[in-house]
Amino acid sequence: MRADELLVLVAGGDQRAFEDLYTLVSGPVYGLVRRVVRDPAQSEEVAQEVLLEMWRSAARYDPGRGSALSWILTLAHRRAVDRVRSARAAGEREQREALRAGEPAFDQVAEEVEAGMEREWVRRCLRRLTDLQRQSVTLAYYDGYTYREVAERLALPLGTVKTRMRDGLTRLRECLGGAA
Protein backbone atom coordinates (compact mmCIF):
# COMPACT_ATOMS: atom_id res chain seq x y z
CA MET A 1 0.00 0.00 0.00
CA ARG A 2 1.20 3.51 -0.74
CA ALA A 3 2.18 6.02 1.94
CA ASP A 4 -0.82 8.22 1.06
CA GLU A 5 -3.30 5.43 1.76
CA LEU A 6 -1.50 4.34 4.91
CA LEU A 7 -1.44 7.86 6.32
CA VAL A 8 -5.20 8.12 5.90
CA LEU A 9 -5.60 4.87 7.88
CA VAL A 10 -3.15 6.15 10.50
CA ALA A 11 -5.35 9.22 10.92
CA GLY A 12 -8.09 6.76 11.95
CA GLY A 13 -5.90 5.31 14.69
CA ASP A 14 -4.69 2.21 12.83
CA GLN A 15 -1.46 1.10 14.51
CA ARG A 16 -0.67 -1.64 11.99
CA ALA A 17 -0.92 0.90 9.19
CA PHE A 18 1.47 3.04 11.22
CA GLU A 19 4.00 0.19 11.36
CA ASP A 20 3.84 -0.20 7.58
CA LEU A 21 4.14 3.54 7.14
CA TYR A 22 7.13 3.58 9.51
CA THR A 23 8.83 0.98 7.32
CA LEU A 24 8.27 3.13 4.24
CA VAL A 25 9.31 6.51 5.60
CA SER A 26 11.74 6.00 8.48
CA GLY A 27 14.77 5.78 6.15
CA PRO A 28 13.98 8.98 4.24
CA VAL A 29 13.07 10.80 7.48
CA TYR A 30 16.15 9.67 9.42
CA GLY A 31 18.49 10.28 6.49
CA LEU A 32 17.20 13.80 5.92
CA VAL A 33 17.37 14.71 9.61
CA ARG A 34 20.86 13.24 9.84
CA ARG A 35 21.96 15.24 6.80
CA VAL A 36 20.82 18.50 8.38
CA VAL A 37 21.52 17.86 12.07
CA ARG A 38 24.73 15.76 11.61
CA ASP A 39 25.08 14.59 15.18
CA PRO A 40 23.81 10.95 15.32
CA ALA A 41 22.30 11.12 18.82
CA GLN A 42 20.50 14.40 18.14
CA SER A 43 19.37 13.13 14.73
CA GLU A 44 17.78 10.11 16.33
CA GLU A 45 16.00 12.34 18.81
CA VAL A 46 14.62 14.64 16.10
CA ALA A 47 13.64 11.69 13.88
CA GLN A 48 11.74 10.19 16.80
CA GLU A 49 9.87 13.46 17.37
CA VAL A 50 8.97 13.64 13.68
CA LEU A 51 7.78 10.03 13.44
CA LEU A 52 5.65 10.45 16.56
CA GLU A 53 4.24 13.67 15.20
CA MET A 54 3.31 11.73 12.07
CA TRP A 55 1.17 9.55 14.32
CA ARG A 56 -0.27 12.38 16.39
CA SER A 57 -1.04 14.79 13.56
CA ALA A 58 -1.95 12.38 10.75
CA ALA A 59 -5.40 13.98 10.57
CA ARG A 60 -3.77 17.22 9.43
CA TYR A 61 -2.52 15.62 6.24
CA ASP A 62 -4.47 16.98 3.29
CA PRO A 63 -4.16 14.69 0.24
CA GLY A 64 -5.22 17.58 -1.98
CA ARG A 65 -1.95 19.31 -1.26
CA GLY A 66 0.57 16.69 -2.21
CA SER A 67 1.88 13.24 -1.40
CA ALA A 68 2.13 11.84 2.11
CA LEU A 69 5.88 11.43 1.74
CA SER A 70 6.23 15.12 0.88
CA TRP A 71 4.14 16.02 3.91
CA ILE A 72 6.27 13.92 6.22
CA LEU A 73 9.60 15.05 4.77
CA THR A 74 8.51 18.69 4.95
CA LEU A 75 7.73 18.14 8.62
CA ALA A 76 11.08 16.40 9.15
CA HIS A 77 13.00 19.15 7.41
CA ARG A 78 11.32 21.88 9.46
CA ARG A 79 12.13 20.09 12.73
CA ALA A 80 15.72 19.36 11.69
CA VAL A 81 16.31 22.97 10.69
CA ASP A 82 14.83 24.22 13.97
CA ARG A 83 17.17 21.91 15.88
CA VAL A 84 20.30 22.83 13.97
CA ARG A 85 19.57 26.53 14.33
CA SER A 86 19.12 26.37 18.08
CA ALA A 87 22.33 24.36 18.32
CA ARG A 88 24.06 27.02 16.25
CA ALA A 89 22.59 29.78 18.36
CA ALA A 90 24.19 28.04 21.31
CA GLY A 91 27.46 28.48 19.47
CA GLU A 92 28.28 24.79 19.39
CA ARG A 93 29.58 24.41 15.92
CA GLU A 94 30.14 27.82 14.48
CA GLN A 95 33.79 27.30 13.62
CA ARG A 96 33.37 23.91 12.02
CA GLU A 97 30.40 25.07 9.98
CA ALA A 98 32.24 28.09 8.65
CA LEU A 99 34.93 25.91 7.16
CA ARG A 100 32.44 23.84 5.25
CA ALA A 101 30.46 26.78 3.88
CA GLY A 102 29.51 26.39 0.27
CA GLU A 103 30.56 22.80 -0.26
CA PRO A 104 27.82 20.45 0.86
CA ALA A 105 29.19 17.17 2.14
CA PHE A 106 27.44 14.82 -0.24
CA ASP A 107 29.14 11.77 1.20
CA GLN A 108 28.34 12.43 4.83
CA VAL A 109 26.10 9.43 5.22
CA ALA A 110 26.77 7.77 1.91
CA GLU A 111 28.71 4.87 3.34
CA GLU A 112 25.66 3.80 5.32
CA VAL A 113 23.35 3.76 2.39
CA GLU A 114 22.97 1.70 -0.70
CA ALA A 115 23.39 3.79 -3.78
CA GLY A 116 19.99 4.53 -5.25
CA MET A 117 18.80 5.85 -8.55
CA GLU A 118 17.15 8.79 -6.87
CA ARG A 119 20.31 9.79 -5.09
CA GLU A 120 22.23 9.72 -8.37
CA TRP A 121 19.60 11.77 -10.15
CA VAL A 122 19.53 14.45 -7.48
CA ARG A 123 23.31 14.72 -7.46
CA ARG A 124 23.54 14.84 -11.20
CA CYS A 125 20.89 17.54 -11.36
CA LEU A 126 22.53 19.55 -8.58
CA ARG A 127 25.74 19.53 -10.59
CA ARG A 128 23.90 21.10 -13.50
CA LEU A 129 22.99 24.20 -11.51
CA THR A 130 25.26 27.21 -11.52
CA ASP A 131 27.57 27.39 -8.51
CA LEU A 132 25.55 30.17 -6.90
CA GLN A 133 22.24 28.39 -7.48
CA ARG A 134 23.59 25.16 -6.02
CA GLN A 135 25.19 26.81 -3.02
CA SER A 136 22.11 28.92 -2.27
CA VAL A 137 19.85 25.88 -2.38
CA THR A 138 22.08 23.42 -0.52
CA LEU A 139 23.24 25.82 2.21
CA ALA A 140 19.58 26.41 3.01
CA TYR A 141 18.19 22.91 2.58
CA TYR A 142 20.99 20.62 3.67
CA ASP A 143 22.71 22.91 6.16
CA GLY A 144 19.72 24.76 7.57
CA TYR A 145 20.89 28.32 7.01
CA THR A 146 18.39 31.15 6.59
CA TYR A 147 18.58 33.02 3.31
CA ARG A 148 20.08 35.98 5.21
CA GLU A 149 22.87 33.75 6.49
CA VAL A 150 23.34 32.32 3.00
CA ALA A 151 23.66 35.86 1.64
CA GLU A 152 26.32 36.69 4.24
CA ARG A 153 28.30 33.53 3.56
CA LEU A 154 28.24 34.00 -0.18
CA ALA A 155 28.65 37.79 0.11
CA LEU A 156 25.63 38.33 -2.12
CA PRO A 157 22.71 40.78 -1.85
CA LEU A 158 19.54 39.29 -0.31
CA GLY A 159 17.59 39.71 -3.53
CA THR A 160 20.18 37.75 -5.48
CA VAL A 161 20.06 34.84 -3.06
CA LYS A 162 16.27 34.68 -3.22
CA THR A 163 16.43 34.62 -7.01
CA ARG A 164 19.17 31.95 -7.05
CA MET A 165 17.11 29.80 -4.69
CA ARG A 166 14.06 30.05 -6.90
CA ASP A 167 15.99 29.47 -10.15
CA GLY A 168 17.90 26.60 -8.56
CA LEU A 169 14.71 24.83 -7.45
CA THR A 170 13.07 25.42 -10.81
CA ARG A 171 16.03 23.99 -12.72
CA LEU A 172 16.12 21.06 -10.38
CA ARG A 173 12.47 20.41 -11.20
CA GLU A 174 13.17 20.50 -14.92
CA CYS A 175 16.13 18.18 -14.57
CA LEU A 176 14.38 15.72 -12.23
CA GLY A 177 11.18 15.72 -14.24
CA GLY A 178 12.17 12.53 -16.04
CA ALA A 179 13.12 10.76 -12.83
CA ALA A 180 9.94 11.29 -10.86
Partner 1 sequence: MSILGRLLRREDPHSLAAPYALDALEPGERRRFAKHLQGCDRCAAEVRDLAEDAVRLAWSTAAPAPAALRERVLAAVRTTPQERSAPARERTPQLPPHVWGTQPPPGRTRTPRTRSLFVPFATATAAAALVVASLFAVQAHRTQDRLTAERSRAREIAHVLAAPDARATTSKDARGRGIGVIASASEREAVVTLSGYGTPPGGRVHQLWLVRPGAGPRSLGLLAGDTPLVAKGLATSSSSLAVTIEPGGGSAQPTSQPVVQLSLNSVGFGE
Contacts to partner 1 from residues 66-125, by CB under 8 A: 66, 69-70, 73-74, 76-78, 81, 106, 109, 112-113, 116, 118-119, 121-123
User: Is residue 24 a contact point for partner 1 (CB under 8 A)?
Assistant: no
Handedness of CA 120, 139, 105, 110 (dihedral sign): negative
Please identify, using beta-carbon distances, which residue of 93 and 119 lies nearer to partner 1: 119
User: Is residue 58 a contact point for partner 1 (CB under 8 A)?
Assistant: yes
Which residue in the set 6, 129, 132, 154 belongs to the binding site for partner 1 (CB under 8 A)? Answer: 6
Interface of this chain with partner 1, residues 144 to 173, rule: CB under 8 A: 144-148, 150, 159, 161-163, 165-166, 169-170, 172-173
Q: What is the DSSP string of 119-154?
A: HHHHHHHHHHS-HHHHHHHHHHHTT---HHHHHHHH
Q: Minimal CA–CA distance to 75: which of 44, 29, 22? A: 29
Closest distance of CB 22 from partner 1, Å: 6
Alpha carbon distance 100, 153 (integer Å): 11
* Number of DSSP helices (H) and strands (E) in the chain, helices first: 9, 0
Please identify, using beta-carbon distances, which residue of 4 and 39 lies nearer to partner 1: 4
